[in-house]
Amino acid sequence: MKKSLVLPGILAVSVLSFSCSSKKETVSMNLQNSYQDSYKSSVDEGSKYSKELAKAPRWVLDPSSVSKFAAVGSAKIGAAGFNFARTEALANARDELARQIQLKVKNFVRTSVETTGVGDSETVDRVVGTASKQVTRQVLIGSRQKAMWISPNDELFVLVELDEKYVKDLGKYLKEAIITSYKNDRALWQKFQSKKLMEELEEEIKKEFSY
């Protein structure tokens, strides 16, 4: 059985000249690290995945154990080779990370509207619509590969995480989107100002969009 592995992004290039089997053996032996705690409790023994994921690093099944701004993508290593599968897994992980953050943004705005009483469902839609493109952009340029693992069935798993700087930028863009949405509706903007909600908004964004 192949050992679990974690592969920092900068070392990925160094193993590409080997065959898939030699890559996995080299990486298995030399690139163990702190992500390699087994997470067997999350895999039902009766599941068809129980053997394949029995020695998976914890982040494979629970990326939030690494960061609340992390996600996992996977791809099968097939005839196209290791590098193709890695590119596909990275793309899948980034898509998932963008989806999670967009959901976080939507939930944050909805909660803010319900708590303050300023705005309605249309406000939520406007802000989320404005912020969604920025979320996708930030994930594409700000996410980095943190770890990699290959299962016994040659499924390649990649962990990506959004850099702290880009998380803070997301908070800034979200604040701007909310304020702009309120300013476009005079009644909402007056209500927002009368309740002196700016400091509260800034504090809540800081809590949600930081490590």
Q: pLDDT digit string (tens) for 22-77?
A: 444 333 333 334 444 544 445 556 566 677 888 899 999 999 999 999 999 999 99
pLDDT at 89: 97
pLDDT in tens, 116-155: 777 788 888 888 887 888 888 889 899 999 999 999 999 9
Per domain, the residue ranges of the chain are 9-208
Tell me what pLDDT residue 190 has. 84
Segment 65-107, tens digit of pLDDT: 999 999 999 999 999 999 999 999 999 999 999 999 989 988 8
Q: Which residue has the higher pLDDT, 176 or 96?
A: 96
Global pTM exceeds 0.95: no
3-state secondary structure at position 162: strand
Question: Tell me, what's the pLDDT at 163?
Answer: 94
Position 111 scores a pLDDT of: 86
Q: What is the pLDDT, as a whole number, of residue 83?
A: 96
CA 71 to chain centre: 4
| Position with higher pLDDT, 110 vs 91 | 91
For 79, which DSSP code? T
The amino acid that residue 184 corresponds to is N
> Strands 143-150 and 70-76, how do they pair?
unpaired
Q: What whole-number distance in Å separates Cα of residue 74 and Cα of residue 91?
A: 9
Report how far residue 201's alpha carbon sits from residue 96's, in angstroms, rounded to the nearest whole number.
Answer: 27
